[in-house]
Amino acid sequence: MDIIQLLPDSVANQIAAGEVVQRPSSVVKELMENAIDAGSSKVDVSVYDAGKTSIQVIDDGKGMSDTDARLAFERHATSKIRKAEDLFTLHTMGFRGEALPSIAAVAQVTLITRTVGNDIGTEVCIHGSRLVSQEPCSCPVGANFEVSNLFYNIPARRKFLKSDKTEMANIAQEFQRIALANPSVAFSLTQDGKCVVSLPESGLLQRIVNLFGRKFKEQLLEIDVETTLIRIHGFVGKPDSACRKKADQYLFVNGRYMKSPYFHKAIMEAFAHLIPDDAQIPYFIYFDIDPANIDVNISPTKTEIKFENESTIWPIIVAAVRDTLGRFNAIPTLDFDVEGKPDIPAFSQADLLEVRAPRIHVDEDFNPFRSTQTSRRSDVGQWQSLYSGLDSGNGADLPDCHIEVEGRDDTLFDEASHDMERSSEHFQFRGQYILTSVQSGLMIVDQRRAHIRILYDRYMSMMAERRGASQGLLFPEMLSLPPSDAVLVQHAMDELRNMGFDISPLGGGSYSINGVPSELQGADPVAVLRQIVDTLREKGTAADGDTRHRMALVMARNAAIEVGQALNAREMESLIADLFQCATPNLTPTGQTIVSILKTEQIERMF
């Protein structure tokens, strides 16, 4: 009995969709790339419920005829290639012919499109790979894709989608990559009816500034090197723009975003000895190379690309980045410009004959206690005049004199007197630890960790009870974020306000910081908010409680007292009292030890 049979097209499409359509951001990526391949000058993306309910991509490209509109949803139907040899001369984003049938297999898709030569367009509706209707309609030139109820026929896949915040961040990330790869195309992204970002047609640097803020304009250096093998152009960050958090790093080849740890290492190699080993540099680097020398058909997502001459490209990247750093004086150099500098005569052997031992001239008549600077030795004997008036018993008219003690180091003296500062109960050691006597021995408290624990619990309570106290700023600060980070801030806005931040969205990823938590006085609010965004982006997004934990931890670390800060008796007493009112006084929120006790028996054994 034969047991092998062909799978129905609907089942085969659902299997293929498992690789191509992993989440809503995959749909956005495929539809935007199709719009770019169609020669669009403007692409509008609109999503509802982070793409779970609806994803709409509208472009003004060449559009499709009624026959092409129906055929586009068949497996391996594409206009990008004709034969196998075309795979080695690819100039388009798509070529596999799997995206549209995979999307149509797991969603309800409506396509409205018209070409330039036709007065009437066509509307195609497909639900779960099944054609529902196709009829003529009136529409502008281009294509309008609407994908509704993603994974409606695969409940398990829909169940395992992440939160709206996570899925929207992924959509914004894909939007960002395609926008960076095509600065000559205008883009817009709308979330739940509200425009998140609008990008006009521009040059590459302006596109980066529109996405990431004006601060990048001063941090980036232009790179442009062309060889017979490859052209490398774009922008790389200055050494002083290095950060320990994840930096904005993008690599593109022939207009396609790619992931390449190998080439990333080459870029960082150019910054060796200029930045710390664990620091990261932002960069936006574009490779233009002959398509015959690369293979993009590695995975359905097409972000992994194989290069024929990887080892040859490596030194070109390193040399190009180092050349850029040198041309813009971004690395330390020796300055031999002597114009306007003092003339330093050159040393010659003849000068040895004129070398003589230096002579010391001492004014033996100098007396610092006299009103005049010069005196005679005959006046030294009249010392009694220095003490005139003492017999009257009134010392109010005596001048203030500072008596120098030979051999005493005033710095050490001041530090010793500071270290001996103590109250009746507490003693501060080296500006880091508070020592106090307890019944079982000597208790040692790390003052910074203790303050972090106190502030962390306070911020968590503020967010839970929605009672954050805000201190208004005299001059509001400006915060500019890329779309993917702006989504994170938008979802965390309520928690930020509960913590004490007064933030007003200005549109386009820009925010006005009008007030900060009262405990954050002296800290840079823009830097603190960027740290919060970096933490949320790095750790991913989870439950609201976990988001609150990360935000409170960043705030506590920025507002806590620093190591080396001197505390008086009252401040130490207040810190210890507040610490032991916490639910977990012996550990920080990340599990570090705050309190340690040196037992009496241990102390006695020392002696």
* Cα dihedral across residues 580, 583, 587, 588: positive or negative: negative
Contact between 95 and 87 (Cβ < 8 Å): yes
Read off the pLDDT band of 411 (50, 70, 90).
very low
Q: What is the pLDDT of residue 187?
A: 94
Strand partners, 42: 186
Among residues 316, 328, 310, the alpha carbon closest in space to that of 236 is found at: 328
Inter-CA distances, 185 with 55, 97, 119, 191, Å:
20, 24, 26, 20
pLDDT, residue 385, reads: 58
Strand, coil or helix: what is 533? helix
Q: Helix 447-465 to helix 569-579 angle, to the nearest 10 degrees? A: 50
Q: Please report the sign of the dihedral spanned by the C-alpha atoms of residue 382, residue 387, residue 392, residue 396.
A: positive
DSSP labels, 105-133: HSSEEEEEEE-TT-SSEEEEEEETTEEEE
- Residue 354 Cα to chain centre, angstroms: 63
Any idea which of 22-36, 269-283, 421-435 has the lowest mean pLDDT?
421-435
Which string of DSSP letters, residue by residue, matches 404-453? --TT--HHHHHHHHHHT-B-SSEEEETTTEEEEEETTEEEEEEHHHHHHH
Q: pLDDT tens across 436-494, in order?
A: 888 888 889 999 999 999 988 888 888 787 776 777 888 888 888 888 788 888 878 88
Predicted pLDDT of residue 146: 94
Return all residues near 462 (Cβ < 8 A) that are at least 6 apart.
468, 469, 498, 499, 500
Q: Which two tokens stand for residue 350?
A: 């003849």
The mean pLDDT value for 381-398 works out to: 51
User: pLDDT for 126-135, tens place per residue?
Assistant: 998 888 999 9
Rg (CA), the chain: 35
Distance CA 434, CA 600 (A): 17
Q: What is the pLDDT of residue 318?
A: 92
CA gap 142, 560 in Å, rounded: 56
Which helix (H) or strand (E) is 563 found in, with range? none
pLDDT tens track for 207-237: 999 888 887 788 899 999 999 899 999 999 9
Task: Report percent pLDDT > 90 for the chain.
Answer: 24
Helix (H, G, I), strand (E, B), or coil: what is residue 348? Answer: coil
Strand, helix or coil for residue 213: coil
Nearest to 90 by CA among 290, 251, 252: 290
How many of the other CB atoms lie within 10 Å of CB of 436?
A: 16
Average pLDDT, the chain: 79
- What would the two tokens of residue 446 be? 């790390």
Q: What is the pLDDT of residue 395?
A: 44
Alpha carbons 36 and 30: distance in angstroms, whole number: 10
> pLDDT value at position 299?
67
Q: Is residue 41 very low, low, confident or very high in pLDDT (cuts 50, 70, 90)?
A: very high
Three-state secondary structure of 7-70: CCHHHHHHHHHHHHCCCHHHHHHHHHHHHHHCCCCEEEEEEEHHHCCEEEEEECCCCCCHHHHH
- φ, ψ of residue 387 to 5 degrees: the values are -110, 20
Q: How confident is the model at residue 334 (pLDDT cuts 50, 70, 90)?
A: very low
State the DSSP string of 493-520.
HHHHHHHT-EEEEEETTEEEEEEEEGGG
501 within 8 A of 517, measured Cβ to Cβ: yes
Report the candidate in 193, 175, 205, 234 with the shortest Cα–Cα distance to residue 43.
175
Q: What percent of the chain has pLDDT over 70?
A: 76
- Residue 308, Cβ neighbours under 10 Å: how many? 13
How far is it, in rounded angstroms, from Cα 462 to Cα 517?
A: 11
Can you give the pLDDT at residue 396? Answer: 45
Supply 366's token pair: 């100098």
The per-residue pLDDT for range 166-183, each reduced to its tens digit, is: 899 899 999 999 999 999
User: Could you give the CA distance from residue 305 to residue 295 in angstroms, rounded to a whole number?
Assistant: 6
b/e 540-549 (16+ beta carbons within 10 angstroms → b): ebeeeeebbb
Tokens in use for 575? Answer: 């810190």
Contacts of 433 (CB under 8 A, 6+ apart): 444, 445, 446, 447
Taking residue 433's Cβ as centre, other Cβ atoms within 10 Å add up to: 16
* C-alpha to C-alpha distance for 17 and 168, rounded to whole angstroms: 20
Are the C-beta atoms of residues 587 and 596 closer than 8 Å to each other?
Answer: no
Give me the residue label for tokens 């719009």. 35
For the CA atoms of 588, 591, 594, 599, what is the dihedral angle to 10 degrees? Answer: 150
The answer to whether residue 158 scores a pLDDT higher than 60 is yes
User: What's residue 89's pLDDT?
Assistant: 58
Query: Angle formed by the axes of helices 261-269 and 310-327, to 10°?
Result: 40
Give the type of residue at 218.
E
| Token output for 379 | 């006046």
